[in-house]
């Protein structure tokens, strides 16, 4: 969906992660070393504004907090996470009598604000909680996306 022209909204989100084990390259799970602990909290806001009937600009500012320890080394801290901006254009709107879903193209630009503000990074190669794409945490990224939405009352499928 896109917001109507001039409509402004804010949606707050909170994500938490408690790490107990790690996936292996082959898809299995193995336990982490004794004394390892990690807890992450991401507080994120989605702030959007409708530009036209089918175009919307959204910004995703966020803060990350990390509490972790391994091998006697403690890594606790908070900081700004990476900043993502999105421009979304909905080029097809689902008609109530048809089975074709609404479709939109989204273009995300992510700035490495976590690097600029020295936000904490999880030890051991585990991915930090972040707005997509988390594989580029601390680095600039450009991510295009094709989005679909289908309404089959009373459900809305994305």
Ramachandran assignment for 72, one of left (phi > 0), alpha (psi -120 to 50 degrees), beta (any other): left
Residue 34 lies in a domain: yes
Q: Which domain holds residue 36?
A: 8-157
- For the stretch 97-131, pLDDT in tens is 788 899 999 999 989 888 888 888 776 655 666 66
The proportion of the chain whose per-residue pLDDT surpasses 70, expressed as a percent, equals: 89
Residue 3 lies in a domain: no
Residue 89 lies in a domain: yes
Indicate the number of domains in the chain. 1
CA–CA distance, 5 with 53 (Å, rounded to integer): 6
Q: Classify residue 143 by burial, with Cβ atoms within 10 Å: 0-12, 13-18, 19+.
A: middle
Residue 1 lies in a domain: no
- For the stretch 18-56, pLDDT in tens is 877 667 778 777 777 777 788 888 899 999 999 999 999
The SS3 of residue 25 is coil
The answer to whether residue 10 scores a pLDDT higher than 90 is yes
Residue 142 lies in a domain: yes
Q: Are 90 and 47 in contact (CB under 8 A)?
A: no
Helix, strand counts (H, E) of the chain: 1, 11
Residue 139 lies in a domain: yes
């Amino acid at each position: 969906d896109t917001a109507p022209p001039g409509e402004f909204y804010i949606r707050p989100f909170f994500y938490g992660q408690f790490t107990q084990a790690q996936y292996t390259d082959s898809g299995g799970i193995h336990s982490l070393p004794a004394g390892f602990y990690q807890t992450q909290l991401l507080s994120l806001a989605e702030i959007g504004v409708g530009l036209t009937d089918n175009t919307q600009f959204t910004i995703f500012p966020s803060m990350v907090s990390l509490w972790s320890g391994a091998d006697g080394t403690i890594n606790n801290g908070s900081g700004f996470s990476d900043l993502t901006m999105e421009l979304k254009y909905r080029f097809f709107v689902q008609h109530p009598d048809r089975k074709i879903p609404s479709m939109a193209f989204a273009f995300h630009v992510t700035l490495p604000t976590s690097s600029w503000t020295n936000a904490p990074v999880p030890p051991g190669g585990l991915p930090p909680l972040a707005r997509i794409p988390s594989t580029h945490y601390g680095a600039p990224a450009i991510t295009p996306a094709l989005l679909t939405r289908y309404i089959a009352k009373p459900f809305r499928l994305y």
